[in-house]
């Protein structure tokens, strides 16, 4: 198997021009990248259907958002660091390091004995998962020109297709038949195989760039995001919105954000160069990434809760019922990638996708306890296609608009905003769900009798097993409470989809380059970034 850096006389036509790589060489590199991406994508989808069982076993519905948020928080914080460090030590080393950290976190998460341990080990998983995602996107940006990138992202879409379809099914099956702990243990053989394959086939050229790593900037942004997350999780639930604790957290979040901006303006090599925001493509893409992450990880993560708590299906059943949503994401992502390669245009896809999201979230808000499944499937498909059309373009547009020396930093930065949106969105929508559920249970289950208290406890436990023991009239009231609460969650997602549409409308359309980072050695930064300069 030829190394990626080797080019023989008999090689096929080079994708990135005279100094680029052949299709075969790119596919060899992608084989290693796809295994890593499978690891990260599978973890996100396999956990979703097991969440109700996990939180019921270890602590209750009010902790559900933290199982997801802890992962997203750490992956958000480390993403910009990976871009800088990979420029110094090479992307392959960092990619493999991220896989190892992810596997250690997975093994420990499976061994968790309480909710605190699980949240901590999910956070460790996020340190690896954030690096996997950032490195895959950066490596693709290095070796594939933007004009051809959509086609190769289609292969990545196939990985997401597998993870999206089989992840929820595998998560449900393992939870039903063995234990929810195996949704984490299953990562181990996949990850070990990924390490072996990447060691053999991922032969990337290393152009080391000396960097001063901005650890203070990373610490400040992590602290700012954490305090903001605590506001969205605790506000109106653990503490009143006007309480001293919430006001202090808001003040701390603003102060830390200001300190981060000041630090980035003074740092020799900032973790998030403020100058990038003068690039309109980067600015708009970053904002779109935040909003798409907010919607994807925020509202959609609660669909398994609807399937299991309202419809009463098993984790495996909820995985099957979510296939239309995940299939829609794959169709939108892969389809737009192929069309972008043919058309050389990208702006229309997030516009259409955001418009579909507005309609999709409204349709999801119409779910009732007895809505026919074929209707739900159509609504989820529409929402999934909208997400797929919106998510892929922002990284492609960003990489196309910056010079090679900014590639790793810009890719990591736009990924950072997407994962930060996901972390904040998860806790934000989780807070809405818990608050509305508490309110609706109070309205629909008046009184303090044993049956009312038992129903409330069963609902807040977040497990179908606890719900199944309730008397029929009480059970019906609890189901109605869930339906009403989830209705509000999806309605709250609509304004964010509208913001995404507005941002898509102002996203600049710039010609897609036909050269890759691997070809950059024969160009100046000005030539490499020509589409950006011509469009200014």
The CATH number linked to 338 is 1.20.1250.20
- Per DSSP, the three-state class of 211 is coil
Instruction: Please give the tally of structural domains in the chain.
Output: 2
Q: What is the mean pLDDT of residues 466-484?
A: 75
CB 251 within 8 A of CB 219: no
Same domain as 353, residue 224: no
Give backbone dihedrals phi and psi of 243, rounded to 5 degrees, phi first. -70, 160
> Does the pLDDT at position 54 exceed 50?
yes
Among 243, 266, 289, the domain boundary falls at 266
The predicted structure's pLDDT at residue 534: 33
337, containing H or E segment: helix 323-343
Same domain as 72, residue 172: yes
Express each pLDDT in 237-260 by its tens digit: 677 778 888 899 999 989 998 998
- Per DSSP, the three-state class of 279 is coil
Express each pLDDT in 408-440 by its tens digit: 677 777 777 877 787 778 778 877 887 888 788
Q: Which of 124, 422, 139 is nearest to 291 (CA)?
A: 422
pLDDT range class, residue 71, cuts 50, 70, 90:
confident
> Does the pLDDT at position 8 exceed 50?
no
Q: How far is CA 103 from the centre of its chain?
A: 18
Count of other CB atoms within 10 angstroms of residue 205: 16
Q: What is the mean pLDDT of residues 182-209?
A: 77
pLDDT range class, residue 527, cuts 50, 70, 90:
very low
Same domain as 418, residue 318: yes
> Does the pLDDT at position 10 exceed 50?
no
Does 3 fall in a domain?
A: no
Determine the Cα–Cα distance for residues 42 and 164; give it in Å rounded to an integer.
7
Same domain as 428, residue 356: yes
Same domain as 366, residue 260: no
The predicted structure's pLDDT at residue 105: 92
User: Of 9-23, 41-55, 132-146, 352-366, where does mean pLDDT reach its minimum?
Assistant: 9-23
Same domain as 112, residue 133: yes
The predicted structure's pLDDT at residue 413: 78
For the chain, percent of residues with pLDDT exceeding 70 = 74
> Does the pLDDT at position 521 exceed 60?
no
- Per DSSP, the three-state class of 206 is coil
Same domain as 300, residue 255: no
Same domain as 488, residue 461: yes
Express each pLDDT in 318-362 by its tens digit: 777 878 887 887 788 778 877 877 777 888 888 998 999 999 999
Residue numbers of the domain that contains 236: 215-266
The predicted structure's pLDDT at residue 16: 47
Same domain as 253, residue 271: no
Q: What is the mean pLDDT of residues 132-147?
A: 73
> Does the pLDDT at position 481 exceed 60?
yes
Residue 280 backbone zone (phi > 0: left; psi -120 to 50: alpha; other: beta)? alpha
> Does the pLDDT at position 404 exceed 90?
no
Same domain as 160, residue 29: yes
> Does the pLDDT at position 505 exceed 70?
yes
Does 17 fall in a domain?
A: no
Tokens 């110094």 label which residue? 88
User: Of 29-38, 373-382, 431-440, where does mean pLDDT reach its minimum?
Assistant: 29-38
């Amino acid at each position: 198997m030829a190394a990626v850096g080797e080019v023989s006389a008999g090689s096929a036509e080079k994708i990135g021009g005279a100094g680029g790589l052949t299709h075969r060489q790119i596919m060899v590199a992608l084989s290693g990248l796809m295994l890593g991406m499978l690891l990260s994508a599978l973890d996100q989808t396999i956990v979703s259907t097991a969440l109700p069982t996990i939180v019921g076993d270890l602590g209750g519905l009010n902790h559900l958002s933290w199982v997801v948020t802890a992962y997203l928080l750490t992956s958000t914080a480390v993403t910009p660091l990976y871009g800088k460090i990979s420029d110094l030590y090479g992307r392959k080393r960092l990619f493999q390091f991220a896989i190892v950290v992810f596997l250690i976190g997975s093994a420990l998460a499976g061994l968790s004995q309480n909710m605190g341990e699980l949240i901590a080990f999910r956070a460790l998983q996020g340190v690896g998962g954030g690096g996997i995602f950032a490195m895959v996107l950066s490596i693709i940006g290095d070796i594939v020109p933007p004009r051809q990138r959509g086609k190769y992202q289609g292969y990545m879409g196939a990985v997401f297709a597998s993870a999206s379809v089989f992840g929820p099914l595998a998560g449900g099956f393992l939870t039903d038949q063995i234990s929810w702990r195996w949704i984490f243990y299953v990562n181990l053989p996949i990850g070990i195989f990924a390490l072996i394959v990447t060691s053999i086939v991922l032969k990337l050229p290393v152009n080391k760039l000396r960097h001063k790593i901005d650890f203070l900037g990373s610490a400040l942004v992590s602290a700012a995001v954490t305090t903001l997350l605590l506001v969205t999780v605790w506000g109106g639930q653990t503490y009143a919105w006007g309480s001293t604790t919430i006001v202090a957290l808001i003040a701390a979040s603003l102060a830390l954000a200001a300190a981060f901006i000041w630090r980035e303006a003074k740092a020799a090599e900032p973790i998030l160069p403020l100058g990038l925001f003068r690039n309109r493509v980067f600015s708009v893409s970053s904002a779109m990434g935040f909003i798409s992450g907010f919607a994807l990880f925020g509202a959609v993560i609660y669909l398994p809760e609807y399937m299991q708590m309202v419809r009463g299906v098993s984790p495996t059943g909820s995985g099957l019922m979510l296939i239309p949503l995940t299939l829609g994401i794959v169709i939108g992502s892969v389809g737009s990638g192929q069309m972008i390669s043919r058309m050389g245009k990208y702006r229309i896809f997030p516009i259409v996708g955001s418009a579909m999201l507005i309609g999709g979230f409204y349709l999801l808000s119409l779910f009732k306890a007895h809505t026919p499944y074929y209707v739900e499937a159509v609504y989820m498909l529409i929402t999934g296609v909208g997400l797929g059309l919106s998510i892929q373009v922002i990284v492609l547009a960003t990489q196309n608009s910056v010079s090679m020396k900014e590639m790793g930093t810009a890719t990591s930065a736009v990924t950072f905003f997407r994962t930060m949106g996901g972390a904040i969105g998860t806790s934000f929508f989780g807070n809405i769900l818990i608050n509305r559920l508490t309110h609706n249970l109070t309205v629909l289950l008046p009184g303090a009798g044993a049956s009312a208290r038992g129903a409330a406890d069963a609902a807040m436990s977040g497990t179908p097993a606890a719900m199944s023991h309730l008397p029929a009239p009480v059970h019906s009231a609890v189901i109605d409470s869930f339906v009403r609460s989830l209705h509000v969650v999806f309605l709250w997602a609509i304004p964010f989809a509208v913001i995404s549409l507005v941002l898509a409308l102002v996203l600049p359309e710039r010609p897609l380059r036909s050269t890759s980072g691997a070809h950059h050695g024969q160009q100046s930064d000005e030539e490499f970034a020509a589409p950006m300069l011509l469009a200014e």
